[in-house]
Amino acid sequence: MDARFIGIDLGNTNQTIALADASGNLLRIERRVTEPGGTAPAILEGVLDAVETLLAGQSARDAGVRAVGVGFGGPVDMPTGTVRLSHQVPGWEDVPLKALLEERFAVPARVDNDANVGTLGELRFGAGQGLQDIVYINIGTGIGGGLVFAGRLHRGVSTAAGEIGHTIVLPGGPLCSCGHRGCLEALCSGTAIGRRARDLAEGDPALGARLLTLAGGDPERITAKTAFRAAEEGDPGGRRVLNETVEYLAIAIGNLLNLLNPQAIILGGGVSEAGDLLFVPLRERTRDYCMEPPYAAARILPAQLGYDAGVRGAVALAMEG
């Protein structure tokens, strides 16, 4: 029987579970949504049930499944496959997820954090195909990242490599969830961009007028998408938010290029969907924070896998073993 792999994108609010072939093509997909107040045991049981649905009554081995890969939205001890915690959902503290999956399905399982898994997905199936040295940055409600050297994911001695969101780009800047100030995540995550746009609308009503109009008059409805839409229209307030975003990202990316000299920086997540509005000025501004040789050698690219990046990466993780 042809080899099959199961990929699980285990987010805090949405879970995607897929059965894939040896080329990484998704053959069947199950999706689950966590109800408000959902707990870790309930989420896990839903995921396990989804895997059983994909197996259609067969055991994993009888279905040809060689391995299971999981990308989890929180810290993971990768060697043991133990979830350390979730910042959003209670009950994930020290859950031996790898062991639970292997006991349930009798095939090898691998568990890693979602940023590393997204990196693997882009490397194997997306914008990083054919490349050996890349940096992946996922910009969503937070900012995560992953590093690939010589075609292999670099996890670091404590499996904490790639925490790009917690590099400092504005000393003394906004407080980050990690406890430090001025982190990239505190300035350029989708959440942070929306906050900066709201602060502008409330602090400078004239400059923020269009932002407020696009949000229906409610400043709490101003998001990163609102700011980028205003910027695309040429609105000065929207342009200010965009330019600040470009500035902070360019500092971080310039530092990465100088330090690591990769072939590509790949940006994924919701913020990257701004397209040329973001990428054109970002490529130009990054040059100002980078030496010419590493800048000339690298491309700054949008990710390609979109909504299924997490589950495709989980499939890649399963194949890695």
Among 136, 228, 249, smallest CA distance to 183 is for 249
Beta bridge partners of residue 265, listed in sequence order: 135, 300
- Where do the H-state alpha helices sit in 7-138? 40-55, 97-105, 114-125
Q: Where are the domains of the chain?
A: 4-121+308-320, 130-303
Q: How do residues 146-201 score in pLDDT, each as one tens digit?
A: 999 999 999 999 888 999 999 999 999 999 988 999 999 999 999 999 999 999 99
Residue 93 confidence (pLDDT): 92
For residue 195, give both structure tokens: 């906050």
Distance CA 18, CA 28 (A): 6
Residue 245 confidence (pLDDT): 98
For residue 267, give both structure tokens: 């940006």
CATH of domain 130-303: 3.30.420.40
Q: How crowded is residue 200: how many other Cβ atoms within 10 Å of its Cβ?
A: 22
Helices (H) and strands (E) in the chain, counts: 11, 12
Beta bridge partners of residue 259, listed in sequence order: none
Q: How do residues 32-52 score in pLDDT, each as one tens digit?
A: 988 777 788 999 999 999 999
Task: Let me know if the fold of 4-121+308-320 is the same as that of 130-303.
Answer: yes
Three-state SS at 76? strand
Residue 216 confidence (pLDDT): 94
Q: Which residue has the tokens 């870790």?
A: 40
Q: Return the H-helix or E-strand segment holding 200.
A: helix 190-203
Distance CA 114, CA 208 (A): 35
Low-confidence residues of the chain, pLDDT below 70?
A: 1
Residue 65 confidence (pLDDT): 96
Among 223, 248, 227, 226, smallest CA distance to 173 is for 248
**Protein fold of 4-121+308-320:** Nucleotidyltransferase; domain 5 (3.30.420)
Distance CA 274, CA 224 (A): 10
Which distant-in-sequence residues (6+ apart) come within 8 Å of 133 by Cβ?
148, 149, 150, 260, 261, 262, 263, 264
